[in-house]
Amino acid sequence: MKRISRVLIVIALMVIGFNLKSGERPMHEIHSMLMFNFIKYVEWPTETKSGNFVIAVVGDENVASTIQNFYAKRTVKGQSVKVVNVDNVSAVNNAHVLYLSSNKSREFEAAQEKFAGKSTLTITDKNGLGKKGSCINFQEINGKLRFEINQESIKGSNLKISNQLTSMGILI
């Protein structure tokens, strides 16, 4: 039964989230919704499962506030959600999820260095960053929002991603 509900969530994401034109729903809401759903299909190592589940947003106050408003009172992987909204990567000390907005993509290399070997799911929004090492990268293709999954980056971050999520993404 639990598996059926997860499949229904995935189908809903595909129908609702990915086929929306950018004018129908603000992109920050779509990114926020998808990021939170990505989290459901990623497994973090045991040593990261204490304290708060930290989602760090770099460069997009709208994404940070949307995640805060919709999800801060929920738990993720048995942990309370803490949303950190910052202007640059250097202000983030640790995070389970690091979202780097397109206007902060020039900080991608700094983020890679800072979080190398750490169990951080890096999510970006700039063409080319999936191939450069982002775990998940949003990309618009033919007017539809899609996402790339860099399997090597996922493994390098000591994370496990479900087959349900990989089946929906563009694998790199």
pLDDT at residue 163 in the model: 94
pLDDT on residue 141: 87
At 17 the pLDDT is 47
Q: In this predicted structure, what is the pLDDT of residue 105?
A: 94
User: According to the model, what pLDDT value does residue 22 have?
Assistant: 44
Strands 75-76 and 79-86: antiparallel
pLDDT value at position 3? 55
Those residues with Cβ within 8 angstroms of residue 70's Cβ, 6 or more apart along the chain or in another chain: 32, 33, 36
Q: If the chain, 172 residues long, is cut into consecutive pieces of 10 residues, what is the mean pLDDT of each piece?
A: 53 49 77 93 95 96 94 87 95 96 95 96 96 96 92 96 94 92
| Dist CA 149 CA 151 (whole Å) | 6
CATH number of the domain at 2-171, please? 3.40.50.2300
The dihedrals phi and psi of 135, each to the nearest 5 degrees, come to -60, -50
On the 0-12 / 13-18 / 19+ scale of CB atoms within 10 A, 24 is exposed
Which pairs with CB-CB distance under 8 Å and at least 24 residues apart come from 2-8?
A: 6/40, 6/164, 7/164
